[in-house]
């Protein structure tokens, strides 16, 4: 019965819009700040100012988008309604306030004391989200590979956010000396455990849906699931018990899982019926190509022990892989949400716009090109430690951001042309 | 006059807003049966997790029920045989680059 209720079970548009609009604002702020971090490209990747920008981008843009998208996608991919929409609203406001406090405290030294308060709000918001997801799973009928990914990713989110909260308290009270181990566990569980696993799971629904792919095997993504769970678990044990050999085993297994996921996405793309390389397809190809590059760069960093490769890895991962994946899907999901809210009741009564008319397609193409050039130039800046090159690259990427924001505004306020609204 | 042809013409007014083609040309309609004033439509969707699932089903039913002589229309979604591009019209295949 649940199978044909995907849209009835979906949350109200206004809920998802909260998350998406806040995410767009955080994206714009992060892009604006990026050029000011040019002189940190040869710095320490765990510095508090760097942590401020990374959290602003990761929590404010990436995770805000993922949370909003999850509330919309869970009824579609799991075919069950989200347990509580009220929880989602409470979570949003706690998360929003928490991010502002937390990042402000990390970024401005004299306000460092507010960091634990911001962290507490973020932690509470994440607990609400995780509880909401787990309670949703009580009604799950089909525990397929996508359901497994989303479930496991939320277990990692719980661990990662708990460690993050502990780190924030530790920052102020200093009761635990091994900050590096905590940071590694926090990064592994939140970025690879939550963000990557969520993307791997939902990509198995979104990519075939938007590219009309059929007839491919899911074997690689299934192996990837067990590889990443094992890899991250080994990594946690290695850090908790300080066994460095195990750490590299965990890293290798996690990287192997990501390689399998990339190959799976390649299989889906090979089987696609929709062959046009539109702005979505370009973003997806760039996203997974960048993820592959990230894996290579990470291992170069491990073997060379040069800090700049970890900075390069982070830059490519955040402003390449995640950015392309999220922006590509915002261009697809947002028009659908607006269309569903405003135009679906008019179907059969009036001529309604198509989804592709609700995005400035040419602008999306230009934005993709600009962002890609900016990202590539940013990599050059980091590799050759050129502050100026990196600052120019950041400005170019900022132009790309403005184009994304303009397109989001266009979709949210979309007005069909007169001829498109004439009665049929 | 109500017959399979008129029902199909009505179904052709239902457009998938994502792909931009009507659901008949996409090959999503597997069968149409007219029995007096009752119409049964058997159809599929291009993907199982389609967020438009329930809407497309409703639009199809409403489009058929707007025809003169139709008292009721039942739309059944099936997943076997699974949809593939060979079921679509040549125009759709060409437009999608298939």
Each residue's pLDDT tens digit, B26-49:
999 999 999 989 999 999 988 776
Q: Give the pTM.
A: 0.89
pLDDT at residue number A50: 83
Name the one residue in this structure whose structure tokens are 């590096």.
Answer: A180
Query: Which of A7, A204, A276, A356 would best serve as a mutation to test chain B binding (most B beta carbons within 10 A)?
Result: A7
* pLDDT tens per residue across span A134-192: 999 998 888 899 999 999 999 999 999 999 999 988 877 888 878 888 999 999 999 99
The pLDDT value recorded for residue A43 is 65
The whole-angstrom separation of Cα A236 and Cα A189 is 9
Other Cβ atoms closer than 10 A to B1: 6
DSSP type of residue B15: B
* CA–CA dist A297, A310 (Å, integer): 8
CA–CA separation, A54 and A34 (whole Å): 10
What is the block-wise mean pLDDT of chain A (424 residues), using blocks of 10 residues? Answer: 50 88 95 85 71 93 95 84 92 97 90 91 97 93 91 97 92 81 92 96 91 90 97 94 89 96 95 85 96 95 88 93 96 89 82 89 96 96 93 95 96 77 40
For A202-213, the DSSP string reads: HHHHHHHHHHTB
For residue B73, what are the β-bridge partners? B39
Residues of A in contact with B20 (CB under 8 A): 354, 356
pLDDT of B56-96, one tens digit each? 888 899 999 999 999 999 999 998 888 888 888 988 888 87
Distance from CA of A169 to the nearest CA of B (A): 42
Beta strand segments in B1-98, E: 29-35, 38-43, 72-77
What does the DSSP assignment read for A372-424? HHHHHHHHHHHHTT-HHHHHHHHHHHHHHHHHHHHHHHHHHT----GGGGS--
CB–CB contact A273 B96 (8 Å):
yes
**In contact, A61 and A38? CB cutoff 8 Å:** no
Extended beta strands in A156-200, E state: none
Q: How far is CA B92 from CA A311, B21, B24, B96, in A?
A: 46, 7, 10, 6
CB contact under 8 A, A273 and B85: yes
Task: Tell the residue number behind the tokens 């946690």, with chain if given.
Answer: A236
Cα A122-A45-A262 angle, rounded to 5 deg: 80
Question: Smallest Cα–Cα separation from B50: which of A186, A21, A208?
Answer: A208
Q: Assign domain B4-95 to its CATH superfamily.
A: Fe-S cluster assembly (FSCA) (3.30.300.130)
pLDDT at A419: 52
- The DSSP result for A357-375, as a single string, is GGS-HHHHHHHHHHHHHHH
Distance from CA of A275 to the nearest CA of B (A): 5
B-chain residues within 8 Å CB-CB of A273?
84-85, 96, 98
Q: What is the total residue count of chain B? A: 98
Residues of A in contact with B59 (CB under 8 A): 347-348
pLDDT for the residue A215 = 83
Structure tokens at A319: 């402003």
Quote the CA–CA distance of A58 and A52 in Å, as a whole number. 10
User: What's the full length of chain A, in residues?
Assistant: 424
pLDDT of A250:
94
Those residues with Cβ within 8 angstroms of residue A412's Cβ, 6 or more apart along the chain or in another chain? A17, A21, A334, A338
Q: What is the pLDDT of residue A280?
A: 92
Chain A nearest-CA residue for B17: A354
Tens digits of residue pLDDT in A292-316: 999 999 999 989 988 889 989 999 9
Percent of all residues in chain A with a pLDDT value above 90, rounded to a whole number? 66
Helices of type H across A56-139: 64-77, 85-107, 115-137
CB contact under 8 A, B49 and A355: no
* Residues in a beta bridge with B32: B41
Angle at A55 between CA A100 and CA A389, to 5 degrees: 115
pLDDT in tens, A28-67: 999 999 888 877 777 665 677 888 999 999 999 999 999 9
Given an 8 Å threshold on Cβ–Cβ distance, is B55 in contact with A347?
yes
């Amino acid at each position: 019965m649940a199978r044909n209720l995907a849209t009835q079970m979906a949350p109200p548009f206004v809920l998802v819009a909260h998350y998406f609009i806040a995410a767009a604002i955080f994206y714009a702020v992060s892009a604006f700040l990026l050029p000011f971090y040019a002189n940190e490209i040869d710095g320490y990747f765990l510095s508090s100012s760097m942590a401020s920008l990374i959290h602003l981008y990761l929590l404010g843009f990436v995770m805000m988008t993922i949370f909003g998208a999850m509330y919309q996608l869970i009824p579609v991919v799991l075919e069950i309604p989200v347990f509580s929409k009220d929880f989602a609203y409470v979570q949003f406001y706690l998360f929003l306030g928490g991010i502002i406090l937390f990042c402000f405290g990390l970024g401005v030294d004299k306000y460092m004391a507010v960091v634990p308060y911001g962290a507490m709000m973020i932690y509470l918001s994440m607990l609400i989200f995780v509880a909401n997801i787990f309670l949703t799973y009580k009604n799950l009928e089909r525990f397929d590979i996508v359901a497994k990914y989303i479930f496991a990713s939320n277990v990692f989110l719980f661990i990662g956010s708990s460690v993050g909260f502990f780190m924030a308290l530790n920052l102020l009270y200093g009761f635990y000396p091994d900050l590096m181990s905590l940071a590694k566990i926090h990064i592994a569980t939140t970025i690879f455990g939550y963000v990557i696993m969520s993307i791997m799971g939902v990509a198995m629904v979104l990519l075939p849906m938007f590219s009309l792919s059929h007839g491919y095997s899911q074997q690689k993504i299934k192996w990837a699931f067990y590889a990443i769970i094992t890899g991250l678990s080994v990594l946690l044990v290695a850090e908790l018990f300080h066994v460095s050999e195990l750490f590299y085993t965990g890293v290798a297994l996690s990287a192997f899982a990501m390689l399998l996921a990339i190959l799976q996405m390649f299989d889906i793309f090979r089987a696609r019926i929709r062959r046009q390389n539109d702005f979505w397809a370009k973003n997806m190809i760039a996203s997974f190509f960048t993820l592959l590059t990230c894996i290579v760069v990470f291992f170069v960093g491990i073997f060379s022990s040069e800090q700049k490769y970890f900075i390069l890895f982070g830059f490519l991962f955040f402003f390449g892989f995640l950015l392309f994946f999220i922006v590509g899907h915002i261009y697809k999901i947002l028009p659908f949400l607006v269309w569903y809210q405003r135009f679906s009741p008019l179907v059969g009564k009036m001529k309604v716009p198509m989804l592709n008319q609700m995005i400035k397609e040419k602008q999306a193409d230009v934005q993709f090109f600009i962002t890609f050039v900016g990202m590539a130039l940013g990599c050059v800046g980091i590799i050759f430690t050129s502050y100026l090159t990196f600052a120019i690259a950041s400005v170019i990427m900022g132009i790309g951001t403005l184009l994304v924001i303009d397109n989001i505004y266009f979709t949210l306020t979309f007005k069909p042309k007169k001829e498109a609204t004439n009665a049929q | 006059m109500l017959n399979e042809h008129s029902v199909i013409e009505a179904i052709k007014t239902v457009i998938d807003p994502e792909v931009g083609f009507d659901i008949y040309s996409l090959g999503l309609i597997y069968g149409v049966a007219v029995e007096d004033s009752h119409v049964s439509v058997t159809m599929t969707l291009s993907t199982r997790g389609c967020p438009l699932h329930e809407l497309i089903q409703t639009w199809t039913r409403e489009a058929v029920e707007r025809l003169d002589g139709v008292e009721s229309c039942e739309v059944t979604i099936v997943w076997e045989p699974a949809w593939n591009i060979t079921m679509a019209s040549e125009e759709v295949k060409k437009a999608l680059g298939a």
